[in-house]
Amino acid sequence: MLGMSQERLGEALGLTFQQVQKYERGTNRVSASRLYELSDVLDVPVSFFFDGLERARRAPGHAALEVSGFAQAQEAFRGASDGGPLPVSEMALLARRETIELVRTYYRIEDAATRRRVLDLIRMMIPPE
Protein backbone atom coordinates (compact mmCIF):
# COMPACT_ATOMS: atom_id res chain seq x y z
CA MET A 1 0.00 0.00 0.00
CA LEU A 2 2.87 2.38 0.72
CA GLY A 3 5.02 1.36 -2.21
CA MET A 4 7.77 0.15 0.12
CA SER A 5 9.80 -2.82 -1.05
CA GLN A 6 10.49 -5.80 1.20
CA GLU A 7 14.17 -4.93 0.94
CA ARG A 8 13.61 -1.36 2.16
CA LEU A 9 11.33 -2.55 4.97
CA GLY A 10 13.94 -5.13 5.96
CA GLU A 11 16.65 -2.47 6.09
CA ALA A 12 14.49 -0.27 8.32
CA LEU A 13 13.91 -3.23 10.65
CA GLY A 14 17.45 -4.61 10.50
CA LEU A 15 16.29 -7.73 8.64
CA THR A 16 16.90 -9.31 5.26
CA PHE A 17 14.13 -9.16 2.68
CA GLN A 18 13.86 -12.95 3.00
CA GLN A 19 12.98 -12.58 6.68
CA VAL A 20 10.35 -9.98 5.76
CA GLN A 21 8.92 -12.44 3.20
CA LYS A 22 8.64 -15.11 5.90
CA TYR A 23 6.66 -12.71 8.10
CA GLU A 24 4.46 -11.67 5.19
CA ARG A 25 3.69 -15.25 4.17
CA GLY A 26 3.10 -16.37 7.74
CA THR A 27 6.05 -18.77 7.76
CA ASN A 28 7.44 -16.98 10.83
CA ARG A 29 5.31 -15.53 13.59
CA VAL A 30 5.56 -11.84 14.36
CA SER A 31 6.42 -11.05 17.99
CA ALA A 32 4.78 -8.15 19.80
CA SER A 33 8.01 -6.17 19.79
CA ARG A 34 8.48 -6.75 16.04
CA LEU A 35 4.87 -5.72 15.43
CA TYR A 36 5.57 -2.51 17.31
CA GLU A 37 8.67 -1.90 15.17
CA LEU A 38 6.63 -2.55 12.02
CA SER A 39 3.97 -0.08 13.08
CA ASP A 40 6.65 2.54 13.71
CA VAL A 41 8.39 2.02 10.36
CA LEU A 42 5.10 1.95 8.44
CA ASP A 43 3.75 4.92 10.42
CA VAL A 44 0.52 3.16 11.39
CA PRO A 45 -0.86 2.37 14.83
CA VAL A 46 -0.36 -1.21 16.03
CA SER A 47 -4.15 -1.52 15.93
CA PHE A 48 -3.92 -1.31 12.10
CA PHE A 49 -2.81 -4.93 12.06
CA PHE A 50 -5.90 -5.91 14.06
CA ASP A 51 -8.40 -3.82 12.11
CA GLY A 52 -11.69 -5.65 12.02
CA LEU A 53 -10.66 -8.17 14.67
CA GLU A 54 -13.76 -8.90 16.68
CA ARG A 55 -14.57 -11.30 19.45
CA ALA A 56 -17.11 -13.99 18.61
CA ARG A 57 -18.58 -16.16 21.34
CA ARG A 58 -17.68 -19.84 21.32
CA ALA A 59 -18.85 -20.90 24.74
CA PRO A 60 -19.68 -19.06 27.94
CA GLY A 61 -16.51 -17.49 29.29
CA HIS A 62 -14.47 -18.23 26.16
CA ALA A 63 -13.98 -16.13 23.09
CA ALA A 64 -12.91 -17.02 19.58
CA LEU A 65 -11.42 -14.41 17.31
CA GLU A 66 -13.02 -13.57 14.00
CA VAL A 67 -10.74 -11.78 11.54
CA SER A 68 -11.79 -9.35 8.83
CA GLY A 69 -10.64 -5.91 7.78
CA PHE A 70 -6.91 -6.34 7.22
CA ALA A 71 -7.48 -9.34 4.96
CA GLN A 72 -10.09 -7.31 3.08
CA ALA A 73 -7.60 -4.49 2.68
CA GLN A 74 -5.03 -6.90 1.29
CA GLU A 75 -7.59 -8.26 -1.19
CA ALA A 76 -8.42 -4.75 -2.35
CA PHE A 77 -4.77 -4.11 -3.19
CA ARG A 78 -4.26 -7.43 -4.94
CA GLY A 79 -6.25 -6.28 -7.93
CA ALA A 80 -8.39 -8.72 -9.80
CA SER A 81 -10.44 -11.26 -7.89
CA ASP A 82 -8.07 -13.95 -9.14
CA GLY A 83 -5.27 -12.34 -7.12
CA GLY A 84 -3.50 -10.99 -10.20
CA PRO A 85 -1.30 -7.92 -10.03
CA LEU A 86 -2.68 -4.41 -10.33
CA PRO A 87 -2.30 -2.65 -13.68
CA VAL A 88 0.68 -0.29 -13.89
CA SER A 89 -1.64 2.73 -13.97
CA GLU A 90 -3.21 1.71 -10.64
CA MET A 91 0.19 0.97 -9.10
CA ALA A 92 1.28 4.49 -10.07
CA LEU A 93 -1.76 5.89 -8.25
CA LEU A 94 -0.88 3.93 -5.12
CA ALA A 95 2.66 5.28 -5.16
CA ARG A 96 1.58 8.95 -5.22
CA ARG A 97 2.29 11.00 -2.10
CA GLU A 98 -1.35 12.09 -1.94
CA THR A 99 -2.56 8.47 -1.92
CA ILE A 100 -0.10 7.46 0.78
CA GLU A 101 -1.10 10.46 2.90
CA LEU A 102 -4.78 9.60 2.44
CA VAL A 103 -4.23 5.98 3.49
CA ARG A 104 -2.13 6.96 6.52
CA THR A 105 -4.70 9.53 7.60
CA TYR A 106 -7.56 7.08 7.08
CA TYR A 107 -5.94 4.47 9.32
CA ARG A 108 -5.33 7.03 12.04
CA ILE A 109 -9.11 7.09 12.54
CA GLU A 110 -9.30 4.78 15.52
CA ASP A 111 -12.99 3.91 15.37
CA ALA A 112 -13.66 1.24 12.72
CA ALA A 113 -17.27 2.35 12.27
CA THR A 114 -16.13 5.92 11.59
CA ARG A 115 -13.56 4.67 9.08
CA ARG A 116 -16.34 2.73 7.32
CA ARG A 117 -18.52 5.86 7.16
CA VAL A 118 -15.63 7.87 5.68
CA LEU A 119 -15.13 5.18 3.04
CA ASP A 120 -18.86 5.14 2.28
CA LEU A 121 -18.83 8.94 1.96
CA ILE A 122 -15.94 8.85 -0.50
CA ARG A 123 -17.69 6.16 -2.55
CA MET A 124 -20.84 8.30 -2.68
CA MET A 125 -18.80 11.17 -4.16
CA ILE A 126 -17.78 9.11 -7.19
CA PRO A 127 -19.91 9.92 -10.26
CA PRO A 128 -21.89 6.98 -11.62
CA GLU A 129 -20.33 5.19 -14.59
Per-position pLDDT tens, the chain of length 129: 677 888 999 999 999 989 999 988 888 898 999 998 988 888 878 877 776 565 544 445 544 444 444 444 555 555 544 556 666 667 677 767 788 888 888 988 988 899 999 999 999 999 887
Q: What is the pTM of this model?
A: 0.43
What pLDDT is attached to residue 1? 67
Separation between Cα atoms, residue 52 and residue 115, nearest integer Å: 11
Per-residue DSSP letter, 62: E
Domain ranges of the chain: 6-124
What pLDDT is attached to residue 57? 43
Separation between Cα atoms, residue 89 and residue 78, nearest integer Å: 14
Separation between Cα atoms, residue 12 and residue 40, nearest integer Å: 10
